[in-house]
């Protein structure tokens, strides 16, 4: 009971402090007045009465102080006073305050920004109901379970029918970016569409906010469309009457079935403008058990674990193996959807967080160092205050509050830094790190930054504070800064702080160095193409106006006309740009040769459809036979060109040209063999490529070939010329996503670039801080040892030897730091392993360069203090 009133009273005193103070003053004034009146009644003059009263009652301020003590909120008032004092102290030394606050702002802001990314990408659950039930389904090789591939329609339909563990399962036709042209005339623009199976909306548990989802009857390429909220606003002005109306896409009329709620994003594709029913008609594709192109997600029943679902899936796999003996697989594996989406990006993000934390620690060490210097300068102040009766506790608190004041000021700056850093992270990371778009400076993050700031204050302030507490007033006041060796212990402490800075900076340098080395390695990976000087862009031909014959003709015409532009070497088109990933992996069987119709003669062929002079345009060299020409048209027998790897696998020991194989629904004659092309920028090689001439394959589907143009001139200029050329051929066509081929291939590397940029930034900051620390400690050392240097010089030492002494000291500190950092790099090598490509995490070249770099910077930082040491005038210190 009384504890409660006590707390209430204290809290009340905190809240109503001003009123309390006013009332206390009034109360005491009343008391004094009454006392004086009493004395007056005894015959004293009013003035005399007041005087005697004051004498009798003692100082009013003292009473007030005692009353404040009694309120139990003393610590707050003192805290406030200490804070004001801290501010004054800091303002007296604006240079120090500015350095401290700015570096803290960088550290706190950086940490907050990186944490925000980690939070958004890794920690936040998927924005769907019961996200834990969502799984991704991949086909897998029963012998190599780590393999993950997209699914065939026949397997998907069997999973949908038989799997009891799933409450729903959906297929997304994600295998290529699907676009559609909407609008007419000059208004044509391309939007992102995603064909999905009907149960998609059940799996994500988001239904259209108006209208209806698709039904399974519509999984026949039915002309129905569900719009995104944004497209609905744009095309129909946000009117509910849009449902039932028609929308022209690719020149074909679709009926609007529904509109998705605002903010809905596809879990795998992200922002999608419209959803259409995917075509799942059985028998649509003659090779349907061998064609993999469905991305499958499913929702587990509430009581089913992923392990149980996997067991059921394994059982089903055995049945499927018998049902489709010619399928390439029967196994499938489940991954939690979030894990699947976050995928490889978790490691870089975690490393980033570690790196930025290291930078923050460095900053704190730096500040601790600076505070220690100030502590020495202020030792006399503290000693004096201590001698005058200030409590130790008070002095510690005072110092800590100074640190806290700094940290809070740093936090304010840090929030500003975080705001811009988050924008930068989103900009750099977009496209390579999923879920980054949800990044926002939320209140949670402000709290986080405040916690970080307070921890930093404790981190850099505690040591100086404890030193202040250990002040021996007598010693310091006696010393008067006379001794030549004063501060020796502290000097050693500061040197160790710098050692730790060098170590941290070295680890970051090694990390950045490894990434740069990886990058160089990747650049050196032979991709089998020469992407420099090649412009790539998508060119979609709406089916309504272009049937397969027209498409076949048009793509060849475009290639030919572009080739005639000045500077153009060759132009062509392809269904998937080289080195940008898997695409149309179809079972491919040798029909002739030693492995004819044998299992060993069957490969997972990477099928590509090409037009124009694709091979010359991207720089794939012909090894045997010939390239496609105008005779390889619909009237001729079906022909293909295969890559060397495919030739060696399917036709070992014989000439592949002239042999035949079957893929994509029928037999093909091989007319040429070309060089191998990597599947991604890391140089991954598949089982081989099969290239089809578009002239013969246009009828299969609308391939929306990506056009590639090799030029000897500038890409920008070419882009303008090509745009005008296309407009002259068909003004309604869109030259979509033009970019350099190097950029298109590099996009697969975006994540590594993201990490590289951030890590090199951190390493640079760390290096600067370590240099600053070294500079500081050496300068301070020189200042302390002025007398010693003076004596040495008086005794005949020359400037060079003095300079070497200081430099050597700096190098020793650096060497110890590098040695410790080396141990750290070894300890962290497992973590770094996920970032590197083609180099060992302990690559001696990288480690040596980092060490040399560190030493150079350290030498630079040490030079000025060393130089200053030689400028000591012996006479000035020896007087």
Partner 1 sequence: MAGEPGELLQGTLEMMVLKTLSLEPMHGWGIAQRIQQMSNDVFLVTQGSLYPALIRMKRRGWLTTSWRVTENSRRARYYELTAAGRRQLGLEQASWQRASAAVNWVMNARLVPDGGRA
Binding site for partner 1 (CB under 8 A): 1-2, 5-6, 9-10, 23-24, 26-28, 30-31, 33-35, 38, 56-58, 60, 62-63, 66-67, 69-72
- Please report, to the nearest 10 degrees, the dihedral formed by the alpha carbons of residues 283, 285, 287, 292 taken in order: -120
CB of 18 to partner 1, least distance (A): 16
CB of 3 to partner 1, least distance (A): 9
Which C-beta is closer to partner 1: that of 389 or that of 844? Answer: 389
Q: Which neighbouring-strand residues pair with 595?
A: none
Name the DSSP class of 601. Answer: G
CB of 93 to partner 1, least distance (A): 37
Which C-beta is closer to partner 1: that of 44 or that of 384? Answer: 44
CB of 11 to partner 1, least distance (A): 11
Residue 518 neighbours by CB under 8 Å, 6+ apart: 752, 835, 836, 837, 838, 839
CB of 455 to partner 1, least distance (A): 33
For residues 611 and 571, is the Cβ–Cβ distance under 8 A? Answer: no
CB of 392 to partner 1, least distance (A): 20
* DSSP reduced 3-state for 389: coil
CB of 814 to partner 1, least distance (A): 57
C-alpha separations of 40 from 32, 53, 57, 424 in Å: 12, 10, 16, 77
* DSSP reduced 3-state for 672: strand
Which C-beta is closer to partner 1: that of 23 or that of 716? Answer: 23
By CB atoms closer than 10 A (0-12, 13-18, 19+), residue 284 is: exposed
Which C-beta is closer to partner 1: that of 35 or that of 147? Answer: 35
Q: Sign of the CA dihedral 564, 565, 569, 571?
A: negative
Query: Cα Rg for the chain, rounded, in angstroms?
Result: 37
Name residue, tokens 């700015």: 102
- Stated as kind and residue range, the H or E segment containing 678 is none
CB of 40 to partner 1, least distance (A): 13
Which C-beta is closer to partner 1: that of 31 or that of 374? Answer: 31
CB of 60 to partner 1, least distance (A): 8
CB of 338 to partner 1, least distance (A): 53
For residues 619 and 627, is the Cβ–Cβ distance under 8 A? Answer: no
* DSSP reduced 3-state for 707: strand
Residue 646 neighbours by CB under 8 Å, 6+ apart: 588, 603, 605, 656, 687, 688, 689, 690
d(CA 641, CA 588): 13
CB 718: neighbour CB atoms within 10 A? 23
- Closest listed residue to residue 829, CA positions, set 514, 504, 502, 501: 514
CB of 70 to partner 1, least distance (A): 4
Which C-beta is closer to partner 1: that of 55 or that of 123? Answer: 55
Nearest 5°: CA angle at 128, between 123 and 130?
85
**Could you tell me the two tokens for 662?**
């079957």
Residue 79 neighbours by CB under 8 Å, 6+ apart: 397, 401
Which C-beta is closer to partner 1: that of 58 or that of 431? Answer: 58
- Stated as kind and residue range, the H or E segment containing 609 is strand 602-612
C-alpha separations of 68 from 16, 62, 78, 559, 856 in Å: 13, 10, 11, 88, 58
CB of 83 to partner 1, least distance (A): 24
Which C-beta is closer to partner 1: that of 70 or that of 430? Answer: 70
Which C-beta is closer to partner 1: that of 56 or that of 727? Answer: 56
Which C-beta is closer to partner 1: that of 63 or that of 122? Answer: 63
Q: Please provide the size of the chain in residues.
A: 879
CB of 30 to partner 1, least distance (A): 5
Name the DSSP class of 470. Answer: T
Residue 383 neighbours by CB under 8 Å, 6+ apart: 471, 472, 473, 475, 476, 477
Which C-beta is closer to partner 1: that of 35 or that of 648? Answer: 35
CB of 12 to partner 1, least distance (A): 10
Q: How many CA atoms lie within 13 A of 813 on its CB side?
A: 31
Which C-beta is closer to partner 1: that of 7 or that of 856? Answer: 7
Which C-beta is closer to partner 1: that of 72 or that of 581? Answer: 72
Q: Which neighbouring-strand residues pair with 668?
A: 661
Which C-beta is closer to partner 1: that of 44 or that of 654? Answer: 44
CB of 66 to partner 1, least distance (A): 5
Which C-beta is closer to partner 1: that of 69 or that of 339? Answer: 69
d(CA 533, CA 495): 53
C-alpha separations of 646 from 59, 79, 328, 602 in Å: 100, 77, 17, 10
Which C-beta is closer to partner 1: that of 66 or that of 547? Answer: 66
Q: Which residues of 659-678 are buried (b: 16+ CB within 10 A; e: fewer)?
A: bbbbbbbeebbbbbbbbbbb
CB of 4 to partner 1, least distance (A): 8
For residues 151 and 138, is the Cβ–Cβ distance under 8 A? Answer: yes
d(CA 260, CA 255): 15
């Amino acid at each position: 009971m009384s504890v409660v009133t006590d707390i209430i009273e204290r809290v009340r005193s905190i809240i109503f402090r001003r009123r309390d103070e006013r009332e206390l003053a009034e109360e005491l004034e009343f008391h004094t007045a009454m006392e004086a009146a009493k004395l007056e009644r005894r015959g004293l003059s009013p003035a005399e009465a007041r005087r005697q009263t004051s004498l009798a009652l003692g100082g009013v301020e003292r009473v007030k102080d005692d009353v404040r003590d009694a309120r139990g909120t003393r610590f707050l008032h003192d805290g406030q006073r200490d804070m004001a004092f801290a501010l004054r102290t800091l303002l007296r030394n604006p240079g120090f305050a500015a350095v401290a606050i700015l570096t803290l702002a960088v550290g706190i802001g950086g940490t907050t920004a990186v944490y925000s990314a980690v939070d958004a990408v890794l920690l936040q659950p998927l924005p769907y109901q019961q996200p834990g039930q969502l799984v991704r389904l991949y086909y897998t090789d029963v012998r190599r379970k780590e393999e993950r591939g997209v699914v065939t329609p026949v397997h998907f339909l069997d999973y949908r029918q038989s799997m009891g563990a799933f409450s729903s399962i959906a297929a997304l036709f994600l295998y290529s970016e699907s676009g559609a042209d909407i609008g007419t005339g000059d208004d044509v623009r391309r939007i992102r569409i995603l064909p999905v199976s009907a149960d998609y909306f059940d799996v994500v548990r988001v239904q259209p906010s108006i209208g209806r989802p698709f039904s399974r009857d519509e999984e026949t390429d039915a002309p129905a469309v569900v719009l995104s909220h944004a497209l609905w606003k744009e095309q129909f002005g946000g009117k509910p009457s849009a449902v039932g109306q028609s929308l022209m896409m690719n020149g074909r009329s679709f009926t609007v079935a529904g509109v998705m709620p605002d903010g809905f994003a596809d879990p795998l594709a992200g922002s999608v403008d419209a959803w259409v029913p995917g075509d799942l008609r059985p028998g649509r594709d003659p090779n349907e058990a061998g064609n993999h192109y469905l991305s499958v997600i499913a929702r587990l029943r509430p009581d089913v674990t992923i392990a149980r679902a996997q067991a059921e899936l394994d059982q089903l796999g055995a049945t499927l193996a018998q049902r489709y003996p010619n399928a390439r697989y029967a196994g499938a594996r489940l991954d939690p959807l979030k894990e699947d989406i976050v995928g490889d990006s978790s490691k870089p993000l975690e490393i980033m967080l570690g790196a930025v934390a290291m930078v923050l620690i460095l900053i704190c060490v730096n500040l601790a160092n600076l505070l220690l210097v100030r502590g020495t300068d202020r030792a006399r102040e503290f000693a004096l205050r201590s001698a005058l009766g200030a409590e130790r506790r008070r002095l510690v608190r005072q110092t800590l509050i100074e640190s806290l004041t700094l940290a809070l000021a740093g936090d304010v700056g840090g929030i500003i830094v975080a705001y811009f850093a988050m924008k930068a992270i989103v900009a750099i990371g977009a496209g390579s790190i999923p879920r980054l778009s949800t990044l926002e400076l939320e209140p949670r993050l402000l709290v986080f930054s405040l916690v970080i700031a307070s921890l930093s204050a404790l981190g850099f302030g505690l040591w100086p504070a404890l030193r202040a507490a250990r002040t021996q007033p007598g010693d310091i006041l006696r010393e008067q800064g006379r001794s030549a060796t004063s501060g020796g212990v502290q000097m050693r402490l500061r040197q160790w702080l710098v050692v730790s800075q060098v170590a941290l900076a070295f680890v970051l340098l090694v990390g950045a160095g490894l990434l740069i080395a990886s990058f160089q390695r990747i650049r050196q990976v032979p991709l089998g193409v020469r992407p420099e000087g090649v412009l790539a862009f998508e060119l979609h031909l709406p089916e309504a106006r272009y049937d397969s014959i027209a498409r076949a003709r048009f793509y060849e015409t475009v290639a030919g006309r572009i080739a005639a532009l000045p500077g153009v070497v060759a132009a062509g088109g392809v269904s998937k740009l080289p080195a940008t990933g898997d695409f149309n992996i179809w079972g491919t069987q040798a029909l002739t040769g030693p492995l004819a119709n044998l299992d060993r003669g069957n490969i997972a062929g990477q099928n590509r459809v090409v037009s124009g002079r694709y091979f010359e345009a991207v720089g794939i060299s012909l090894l045997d036979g010939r390239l496609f020409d105008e005779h390889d048209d619909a009237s001729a027998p079906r022909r293909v060109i295969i890559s060397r790897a495919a030739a060696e696998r399917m036709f070992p020991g014989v000439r592949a040209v002239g042999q035949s194989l079957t893929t994509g629904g029928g037999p093909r004659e091989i007319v040429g063999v070309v060089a191998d092309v990597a599947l991604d920028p890391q140089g991954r090689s598949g089982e081989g490529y099969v290239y089809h001439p578009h002239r013969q394959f246009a009828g299969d589907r609308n391939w929306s070939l990506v056009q590639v143009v090799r030029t000897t001139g500038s890409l920008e200029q070419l882009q303008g010329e090509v745009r005008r050329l296309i407009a002259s051929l068909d003004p309604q066509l869109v030259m979509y996503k033009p970019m350099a081929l190097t950029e298109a291939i590099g996009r697969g590397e975006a994540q590594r670039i993201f990490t590289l940029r951030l890590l090199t930034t951190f390493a640079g900051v760390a290096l600067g801080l370590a240099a600053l620390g070294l500079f500081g400690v050496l300068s301070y050392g020189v200042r302390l040892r002025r007398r010693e240097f003076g004596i040495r010089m008086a005794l005949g030492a020359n400037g060079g030897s003095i300079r070497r002494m200081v430099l050597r000291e700096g190098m020793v500190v650096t060497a110890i730091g590098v040695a410790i950092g080396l141990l750290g790099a070894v300890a962290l090598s497992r973590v770094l392993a996920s970032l590197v490509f083609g180099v060992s995490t302990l690559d001696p070249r990288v480690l040596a360069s980092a060490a040399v770099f560190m030493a150079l910077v350290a030498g630079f930082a040490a030079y000025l203090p060393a130089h200053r040491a030689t400028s000591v005038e012996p006479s000035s210190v020896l007087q």
